[in-house]
Amino acid sequence: MPRRTLNTKATTLDRIDEIGPLLARIVDSAAVGMIVSDMSGRVVYINRALTALLGHTAEDAAGKSVLDIIHKDDTATARLQLRRLMRNEAEEYRGEHRFCHKDGHPLWVMVAAALLRDETTGKPAFVITQLTNIELQKKAEAALAHSESRWNFALESARQGVWDHDIVNDTMFYSRMWRVMRGIPPEEEVDGNQSEWLKRIHPDDLQHVIDNVDRQDKGDEGLDGLEYRERRRDGSYVWILSRGKPVEWDEEGNPTRTLGTDTDITHLKLTEHALAAEKERLRVTLDAIADGMIATDEQARIVLMNPAAEQLTGWTSAEAMGQSVATVFVVGDGATRAAQPCPVAQCLSENAPVQLDGDVVLLGKGGTRRDVRCTAAPLKTAGEKATGAVLVFQDVTQSRAIQRELAHSAAHDALTGLPNRNAFDRALNSAIASARDSRGHCLLYVDLDRFKPVNDTSGHAAGDELLRQVAETIRGSCRSHDVAARIGGDEFAVLLHDCPLESGKRIADKIVHAIGALDFSWAGRNYRIGASVGLTTVGAQPASPLGFMGEADAACYAAKARGRGMAVAFGDL
């Protein structure tokens, strides 16, 4: 395996986690079986092609050595060469060996193993072993071992066409398989003139072939092969990989004859194009999704940012590249506006996902504020080492605004805007709990006088407007930290925090006077209403079995019985 191929594969493996699970599935669907083992030989990765080839799954191979999968009847060469790689005594190895299928039978494979080195330290980290099924090839070789035409039949079984170019006379010899892959009858004579061959080259590939065919004839070592499309007899095109080199020279050292093979690589090219298209679709998908996405390296520096992240943060991708993610993704507490730690830093520190879905605000570059929900997850190698992180965040400003509205509606009276009965009960229970710590409170029960005639003579619209004015009057008569609520049709309650009875009585009287002073007009008619108020103290225990609300209600009833328009304390009954 050439060194440059090894580096390309290493880069591809390293990029799998950075690009995302979609591309990882594409790699896992590759046609070549792959085993990745650590330097002790322990299997850390098996792709699906390997499972299809040998039947072993990642779960089967867990804790096993790659050497255990070599068939017991195979020569010791494979084990010896793989151990040399594990000891860092060699960079790569190629060979044909029998590996053991899960059901026990041997299978001939082409083994291509190489070291994968850490890009930073240069030390070997893993051994990548690729296995290609050559069972049919080995069987063909065995069957043809006694044939005088073994060389020709081997080429045919590999579906490789042979060509022989007489450079001096510009004539070509083509083998039977060369004709077959182009849809030409095996025995048909083919014009070997190079100009006739060039006419069959795809127009998009023609210049590339013209520029490089002479390099092939001259044996240019820098030319690995020619890849091009050639028109078949039926008008379709076949992708050809043509490799050749000079085999004869004249007295001056000029090549006079070139021999080579053509391989049909149509399937490989289609797969290559499909992978490129899938990668492009992945890029387009990342660009199209509404969620912001930022990818970082292990130092939390930004390496990728999609358009949604640009819009939400106010940073362009060009500006953000290489910046610390904490500089670009600035979050604060939605209530206190206090700065919050960057979730990516915490994720990389703990090597575990971190989610922020509370009241978190993203502070954009231009001063914008957006409610967000975000998740940071580490990108890990097969050895569980974090090589970076992916931060995904959503703009939930609208949904949180709706949640706040719903929460407010659930706890408040729709007509008056005051807290409702459930919210008041929660506040009262909290006050009772604090009263056990020697804190005293007052509870007022307010019932309107002469309210019913307003509804009966002017309708519910007038009654509703009057209730809104009464609510504002009660709220304005209390202290800022007191809780005033509507608990019934024309009934209200007030919780006076940290208030002795004497102060509570003054506030109750203030409410009575304020409501009595309301001058309500509707449709040309004036109405005067009043209020009766009952009050009691909220201590560690109620003074009677009625409970605190019952005591305040009883006191309010007494106020009505004594002539209305007054405040009466439960202790005065």
CATH topology for 297-401 is Beta-Lactamase (3.30.450)
- Nearest alpha carbon to residue 9 among 31, 29, 34: 34
Percent of the chain with pLDDT over 70: 90
CATH topology for 153-269 is Beta-Lactamase (3.30.450)
pLDDT band for position 99 (50/70/90)? very high
Please compute the mean of the pLDDT values over residues 466-493 and round it to a whole number.
92
pLDDT at 152 over 70: no
Distance CA 138, CA 193 (A): 37
pLDDT at 27 over 70: no
Distance CA 280, CA 71 (A): 41
pTM above 0.85, yes or no: no
pLDDT band for position 164 (50/70/90)? confident
pLDDT band for position 14 (50/70/90)? very low
Kindly write down the DSSP assignment for every residue of 277-344, as one continuous string. Answer: HHHHHHHHHHHH-SSEEEEEETTSBEEEE-HHHHHHHS--HHHHTTSBHHHHS-EEETTT--B---HH
Catalytic residues: 490
Q: Any idea which residue has 């669907």 for tokens?
A: 29
Q: What is the pLDDT of residue 244?
A: 86
Decide if 33 contacts 50 (C-beta within 8 A): yes
For 412-572, CATH gives 3.30.70.270
CATH among 1.20.1600.10, 3.30.450.20, 3.20.170.30, 3.40.470.10 for 3-133: 3.30.450.20
Domain boundaries, given as residue ranges, for the chain: 3-133, 153-269, 297-401, 412-572
Distance CA 500, CA 441 (A): 6
Strands 530-538 and 567-569, sheet pairing: parallel
Q: Tell me if domain 297-401 and domain 412-572 are identical in fold.
A: no
Residue 461: what residue type? A
Left, alpha or beta for 488 (phi > 0: left; psi -120 to 50: alpha)? beta
Helix axes 547-561, 421-435, angle to 10 degrees: 110
pLDDT at 448 over 70: yes
